[in-house]
A and B are shown apart, each in its own frame.
Chain A
């Protein structure tokens, strides 16, 4: 565990000493801020529903861009060989990189706390859905980071890792909007697979164990998939 934290520290440091972190976070704030505030004043309602409504799609693009380098770059440069021959287990590496991704998502979300604080001055803000929304955002972020890690482990090409990661995250987000393509017997199952569906439940302020379980299982499947892929490579 200690080793995982050290690896996580190193990865985070990598993000924040290079321009990646600042570019990604600026774009994230720009996009979410723009879409949120252009319509915010029409509704004349003190809530963050629009902000959280868009979050899954923004994350589906943004998170794979952050995670694409985690394994691909190491394999491309060859430093993975050095890392794996240090006294660490693969679990440490995986966990460290996953944590770094999640913390990065958290760091990107922190500046958006300014939105609810501003809104609280303007109107009567219900903090329940806001807290739920941020919890949901973290869970969603963690799930997408796990998916991104998985796609990064598949290839040594970062661009392919990004595209595969985005494709999976995007499908997970939109699948419950595409239900009319599927036979009615599968609707329940496929509807349940939608990340957006579970996220919006939590963002309403309803913290249901089913939704939490959904995100945790996506995290688990993503990480386990990565484990299998990397095991296969050695």
Chain B
């Protein structure tokens, strides 16, 4: 398959995912309503606790929760929907690699999920009248772009894994909170035991949250350059992992000829 075909497949899957998502009530709820509620909750807790200075950090954390939710939920549902529709076997058997399809769909999810951050900023401004000035807008934009890439690659890993998991929907719901906790979304990582730090640092949301917070002017002790490097490194690692994971899974399901058993 040449580059032109790959790009066409990428674009087709990107567009298909965007179209099906636009008519999906759960996606609309997860993207538009949940970030509002999470912002109300997390900023409200800080204000009640007498720490309004953490408001912007909570807004960014709530935005990252929205981004993660949309990626995990929709990337998990890509495979689940194809399985339910009886089209997963056809996609695996087709000459266009399912990996390319997953990549296009994950990219579509990641771009849409960035809206969550805009919604949390709007909620923080309108409801709590928080001063949400971004100290370094260009650095913030750079962090957003790297977050987009990292989330797309992570979506590829999750999508591949869910080929083998019929309970993908349930796994999506249970995987959320450990990631929020380990990534320090809405609270500082320093509150967690130090032995959890390696796990936290292996997750893209941790670095994305730090890069966004630092460029916005909170988390003075974090380094933007280090966060950028970590996001780039993790994106590459997720891509390599996702690629080999997919190859391995594809080989298993082709050898056994029993994709429907998972």
Query: Is the pairing of A and B real?
Result: no
